[in-house]
């Protein structure tokens, strides 16, 4: 049906689409996922849907209980903290490696992405919905650092962590907190400065602090709100 560029992997496509639904918040955390419904929605049979769900389970994004179906996983607050501690270490490593490898073009890219965030942080306090391009700019910032680190395994591990938590939740946590958005931007600035100076230690340390700080913020948010959780 879909043109299917070249991939013979229909199941991966399905998995990606379901993941996107969850990431966007279209499927809120805690919501049960019906195989039949998803199959109908995507115009395929239940078989590939099942395999896709199992992939997502493996990635930790959903939970499957035998004969009881799959639900979008609700991470416990302490899990968020733990995961972010790991992520901090990995991103810090990425920043360290990037310090020695990053190109001028990539540095410019980082500044551009951070400028988007800066504008959003200072400008509109509450820009309606979770500000999709803000989220995007944030993602891009970290992605560029990972690319500059030039270690696919590292990137992959970081991706795995990110894919384990619905993105919209992270955005929501930031959406209401102008203070923290500005802190974010300043921390990004510090990272960029360290990278510009090719200072490996500082790059590593600033990035670690940044991610830890984001993790604490997100954890606190989780502890407060159980909103965006499906109640049915």
Partner DNA sequence: TAGGCTGTAAATGGATCCAATGCCGCTGAA
Partner DNA sequence: TTCAGCGGCATTGGATCCATTTACAGCCTA
List interacting residues with a second copy (CB under 8 A). 7-9, 11, 47, 50-51, 54-55, 58-59, 65-67, 79, 82-83, 85-86, 89-90, 93, 151-154, 157, 160-161
Helix (H) or strand (E) holding 65: strand 62-65
**Least distance in Å: CB of 130 to a second copy?**
25
Nearer to DNA by Cβ, of 71 and 220: the residue is 71
**Least distance in Å: CB of 4 to DNA?**
9
Nearer to DNA by Cβ, of 44 and 154: the residue is 44
Q: Which of 16, 21, 41, 44 binds DNA (CB under 7 A)?
A: 44
CA 21 to chain CA centroid, Å, is: 13
Nearer to a second copy by Cβ, of 55 and 114: the residue is 55
d(CA 5, CA 3): 6
| Structure-block tokens of residue 19 | 């993941």
CA 5 to chain CA centroid, Å, is: 25
Helix (H) or strand (E) holding 72: strand 69-72
**Least distance in Å: CB of 1 to DNA?**
8
First to last CA, the chain: 33
Helix (H) or strand (E) holding 62: strand 62-65
Binding positions for DNA, rule: CB under 7 A: 8-11, 32-36, 44-48, 50-51, 64, 66-70
């Amino acid at each position: 049906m879909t043109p299917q560029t070249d991939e013979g992997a229909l199941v991966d496509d399905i998995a990606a689409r379901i993941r996107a639904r969850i990431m966007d918040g279209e499927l809120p955390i805690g919501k049960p996922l019906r195989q039949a419904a998803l199959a109908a929605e995507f115009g395929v049979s239940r078989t590939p849907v099942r395999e896709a769900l199992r992939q997502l389970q493996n990635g930790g994004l959903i939970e499957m209980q035998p004969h009881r179906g799959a639900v979008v996983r609700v991470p416990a607050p302490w899990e968020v903290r733990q995961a972010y501690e790991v992520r901090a270490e990995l991103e810090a490593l990425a920043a360290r490696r990037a310090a020695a490898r990053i190109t001028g073009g990539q540095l410019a890219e980082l500044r551009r992405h951070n400028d988007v965030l800066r504008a959003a942080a200072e400008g509109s306090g509450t820009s309606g919905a979770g500000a999709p391009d803000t989220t995007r700019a944030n993602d891009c910032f970290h992605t560029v650092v990972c690319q500059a680190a030039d270690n696919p395994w590292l990137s992959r591990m970081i991706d795995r962590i990110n894919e384990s938590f619905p993105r919209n939740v992270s955005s929501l946590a930031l959406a209401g907190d102008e203070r923290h958005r500005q802190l974010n931007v300043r921390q990004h600035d510090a990272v960029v400065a360290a990278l510009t100076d090719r200072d490996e230690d500082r790059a590593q340390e600033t990035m670690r602090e940044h991610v830890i700080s984001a993790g604490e913020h997100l954890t606190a948010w989780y502890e407060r709100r159980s909103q965006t959780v499906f109640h049915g």
